[in-house]
A and B are shown apart, each in its own frame.
Chain A
Amino acid sequence: MTQSIIKPTKKDHTIAKLAAIAIVLSVIEFFLPSPIPGIKPGIANIIILYTLVRFDFSTAAWVSLVRVFVSSIIVGSFLSPTFFLSLFGAIVSLVLLYAVQKLPKPYFSIVSLSLIASFGHIVGQFIIARLWIIPHDSIFNLLPLFLISALIFGLFSAFVCNILLKHKLKKHTF
């Protein structure tokens, strides 16, 4: 057996572990029934938020994008419209997170980050949906519904992530 040329660093291991959890969560979420198509709690984003706060932005971006690609392959929606919706949602929310990650800590907690990220997710998906999948202005009638769900689930994942961050973890776990 030849030795692997790629030497994974400690950061790669962290990304792999966190991405694995995020992938499992998003696959579980895929099988959960939803009352309205397209409205999902986005529980995998809790992991992204956790990564962003505990590590740094580039780790969070890696985890987020790895999750989008791998979970779509597992679920079988790779390169389908669903995949592109979730990819652009993730990209826009990462861009917004990059812009706001340096907000002053005394005034902005994880709740702001979570809400801004979920808002970015909705905006990215609507841009792609309007430009490509349903090129018709009437799609914006769905915007209130999706924004309300983004607010609720954004708050929810912020609170869950806050509980996760409170736990003091051992040095070699994450």
Chain B
Amino acid sequence: MKKILQYIKIIKLGDTFVIVTFMGLIFWSVSQSWNMPSGQYLKIENNQEDSKVFSLNQTVNKQVIGFLGSSEISIAEGKVRFVKSPCTKKYCIHHGWINKINQTIVCLPNQITISIVGDSESYDTVNY
């Protein structure tokens, strides 16, 4: 305990200022990543055709044909989730609702990806 106190002793007034600023930055970045803007469009990709974009401002269930069979996706006024899927592990369903830009649910067995996009679209990932 005495040793720990010795280490803390080297922290001076300016250091406390730096540490507090650093913690402020952490809180700012956490709040930024939690308050991502909600998206307006839903992009659905499967193994058979080009990706399709739908508006999120509707309440509708959609059937999407994948590799194993038909998955059901539910859109409910700004958010979206998987409802039914022919895959075995059902990770896509357990993921729950998504509503923020860049959030994505991937069903690997059925080869379906749904993601929320905003007004402008960014690049895809570059891989090495």
Contact = CB atoms under 8 A, between A and B. Distances in A.
B125 A136 contact: yes
A110 B10 contact: yes
Contacts of A116: 18
Nearest to A135: B123
Q: Is the interface of A mostly helix, strand, loop or mixed?
A: helix
A116 B18 CA distance: 8
A59 B71 CA distance: 61
Nearest to A147: B26
Interface in A130-150: 132-138, 140-141, 143-144, 147-148, 150
Interface in B87-102: 101-102
Given A104-B14, A112-B18, A134 B125 contact: yes
A157 B36 CA distance: 33
Contacts of B22: 115, 119, 147, 150-151, 154
A162 B10 contact: yes
B14 A144 contact: no
Contacts of B125: 134-136
A57 B22 CA distance: 23
A108 B19 contact: no
Given A147-B22, A151-B26, A112 B126 contact: no
A108 B26 contact: no
Interface of B: 7, 10-15, 18-19, 22-23, 25-26, 29-30, 32-33, 36, 101-102, 122-126, 128
10 closest Cβ pairs, A-B complex:
A107-B14, A108-B14, A138-B102, A111-B15, A143-B29, A112-B18, A144-B30, A141-B33, A135-B123, A144-B29
Given A80-B128, A137-B101, A159-B7, 17 more contacts: A107-B12, A107-B14, A112-B18, A115-B19, A116-B18, A119-B22, A132-B126, A133-B126, A135-B125, A136-B122, A136-B123, A147-B25, A150-B22, A151-B22, A151-B23, A151-B26, A154-B22
